[in-house]
Amino acid sequence: MQPADYEAWYHTPRGEWIGTTEFSLLCNLLQANTADSLLDVGCGTGYFTRHFAQQGLHVSAIDPDTAMLAYAKTLSADIAYLQGSALSLPFADQQFDHVSAITSLCFIADPQQALHEMWRVCRKTVVLGLLNRHSLLFLQKNNRGAYRGARWDAAADAQNWTKQLVPPVASVAIRSAIVMPGGNAIARGIESLWPSWLPLGGFLAVMMRKSAE
Ligand SMILES: C[S@@+](CC[C@H](N)C(=O)[O-])C[C@H]1O[C@@H](n2cnc3c(N)ncnc32)[C@H](O)[C@@H]1O
């Protein structure tokens, strides 16, 4: 998909609802302080990267796709965008307070290695946005459009990845959103009442904290 088309989807009524709902869920889990640093892995056109920056975080971002990065740079000159892969992050241990990877791990064949790298460069928290195979979105979108080639995970997969991390994860929280992916008024009403701890939404948010601080 062309970067401009990818970004334009976030500005459709449905895309805007999905993007803001997902971002709000991620922020609730992350609980970042203003001026914390964050690395956004697999940033694409930088939709979430820019939202994190607007929250006052010091944001850097990385993606292997040069076209996505070039487009992202046109939308924000203030963010440090770098080309590279999650599988080998060109950063020091604990360089960032937080690391996010939003619907990017699902395009990486070795999620454990990518997560190992994110855990290495983070000081406090890693937050993931995953595509949930136990969801209506999976039934509707599996292998279509921007989801083509993506792996659809489940909460249990994420739990298993976290168990392999060193140092061990101090706490994990898994939430979900986008229960009825159509985004009409009924879907939005149900979403507002739906308990996010039920892992049945199309978007799974996984938060891993390094210590209880
Ligand atoms: C669906 S897009 C998500 C972009 C953005 N995070 C968002 O949610 O709008 C998936 C992104 O993962 C990136 N990606 C694929 N393989 C990657 C890898 N090995 N390391 C980091 N990012 C990768 C792609 O280039 C693409 O920009």
What is the per-residue pLDDT across 52-70, written as a single tens digit (0 to 9) for each? 999 999 999 999 999 999 9
* 212 pLDDT above the threshold of 70: no
Instruction: Evaluate the omega torsion of the peptide bond into residue 13 and state whether it is cis, within 30 degrees of 0.
Output: no
Pocket test for ligand 1, best of 104, 110, 143, 144 (most atoms within 8 A of CB): 104
Find out whether the beta carbon of 100 lies less than 6 Å from any atom of ligand 1. no
pLDDT digits (tens, 9 = 90+) for 83-115: 999 999 999 999 999 999 999 999 999 999 999
pLDDT digits (tens, 9 = 90+) for 25-51: 999 999 999 999 999 999 999 999 999
Find out whether the beta carbon of 1 lies less than 6 Å from any atom of ligand 1. no
Q: Where are the domains of the chain?
A: 3-209
Find out whether the beta carbon of 65 lies less than 6 Å from any atom of ligand 1. yes
Q: Which of left, alpha, beta for 17 (phi over 0: left; psi -120 to 50: alpha)?
A: alpha
How many whole angstroms from 153 Cα to the centroid of ligand 1? 16
How many whole angstroms from 192 Cα to the centroid of ligand 1? 28
CATH number of 3-209: 3.40.50.150
Mean pLDDT of 192-206: 95
Q: How far apart are CA 98 and CA 36, in angstroms?
A: 8
Find out whether the beta carbon of 84 lies less than 6 Å from any atom of ligand 1. no
Nearest Cα residue to 188 out of 200, 179, 201, 197: 179
Mean pLDDT of 171-192: 93
Host H or E run for residue 61: strand 58-63
How many whole angstroms from 198 Cα to the centroid of ligand 1? 26
Find out whether the beta carbon of 103 lies less than 6 Å from any atom of ligand 1. yes
Mean pLDDT of 184-198: 92
More confident residue, 213 or 179: 179
Question: Other CB atoms closer than 10 Å to residue 94's CB: what's the count?
Answer: 13
* 188 pLDDT above the threshold of 90: yes
Mean pLDDT of 167-183: 95
Q: How many CA atoms lie within 13 A of 194 on its CB side?
A: 21
Q: How far apart are CA 138 and CA 149, in angstroms?
A: 13
pTM for the model: 0.96
